[in-house]
């Protein structure tokens, strides 16, 4: 039987930290579904369609990675897709409390669900989508924070 995992997130925008986690997951599981949460961000900088298309482009080199979007509860979507493992990234202890709550809630909602935590490379432990948005909105340098195509799109839509 093939192992399959889902990596859910808002990914607004998808950062090099997210990419690092996808690479690690793709090396462990036969198939990884990266799932963009619809309605995750109140005022997104990129629409879900834009994010899905950016992710598809940047994850093209990974033959066992697919990109989708989903709405509602992750547990329900996983049941529908017949997936039992969810991947989450853990940057630091500060992420743990929030992730712990989500993982336990998900397990309550879906008994056969496991959450697997992966650590990114140390150089991405500071990186969040919020930090990127903040730095960019104040004209700061976002080089090396985003995959090339996402950075290009950000500059194309919002200016350099």
Minimum distance from residue 84 beta carbon to ligand ADP (Å):
17
Say which residues have a Cβ less than 8 Å from residue 14's Cβ, sequence separation at least 6.
51, 54, 55, 58, 129, 146, 147, 150
Q: Are 36 and 69 in contact (CB under 8 A)?
A: yes
Minimum distance from residue 125 beta carbon to ligand ADP (Å):
7
Nearer Cβ to ligand ADP, position 46 or 124? 124
Minimum distance from residue 1 beta carbon to ligand ADP (Å):
26
Minimum distance from residue 113 beta carbon to ligand ADP (Å):
15
Identify any residues that bridge with 35 across adjacent strands, giving them in sequence order.
Answer: 8, 68
Nearer Cβ to ligand ADP, position 10 or 64? 10
C-alpha to C-alpha distance for 81 and 112, rounded to whole angstroms: 13
Residues taking part in catalysis: 18, 42, 91, 129
| Residues in contact with ligand ADP by the rule CB under 6 A | 9-11, 15, 17-18, 20-21, 40, 88-89, 91, 95, 120, 124, 127-129
Identify the helix (H) or strand (E) that includes residue 65: strand 65-70
C-alpha to C-alpha distance for 26 and 34, rounded to whole angstroms: 10
Q: Are 132 and 145 in contact (CB under 8 A)?
A: yes
């Amino acid at each position: 039987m093939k192992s399959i995992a889902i990596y859910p997130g808002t990914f607004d925008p998808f950062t090099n930290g997210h990419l690092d986690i996808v690479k690690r997951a793709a090396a462990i599981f036969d198939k990884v579904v990266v799932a963009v949460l619809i309605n995750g961000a109140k005022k997104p900088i990129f629409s879900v369609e834009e994010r899905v298309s950016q992710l598809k482009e940047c994850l093209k080199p990974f033959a066992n990675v697919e990109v989708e979007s989903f709405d509602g509860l992750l547990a329900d979507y996983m049941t529908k897709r017949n997936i039992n493992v969810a991947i989450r990234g853990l940057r630091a202890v500060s992420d743990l409390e929030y992730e712990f709550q989500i993982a336990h809630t998900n397990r309550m909602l879906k008994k056969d669900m496991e959450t697997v935590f992966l650590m990114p490379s140390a150089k991405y432990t500071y990186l969040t989508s919020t930090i990127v948005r903040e730095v960019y909105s104040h004209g700061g340098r976002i080089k090396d924070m985003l995959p090339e195509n996402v950075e290009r799109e950000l500059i194309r839509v919002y200016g350099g």
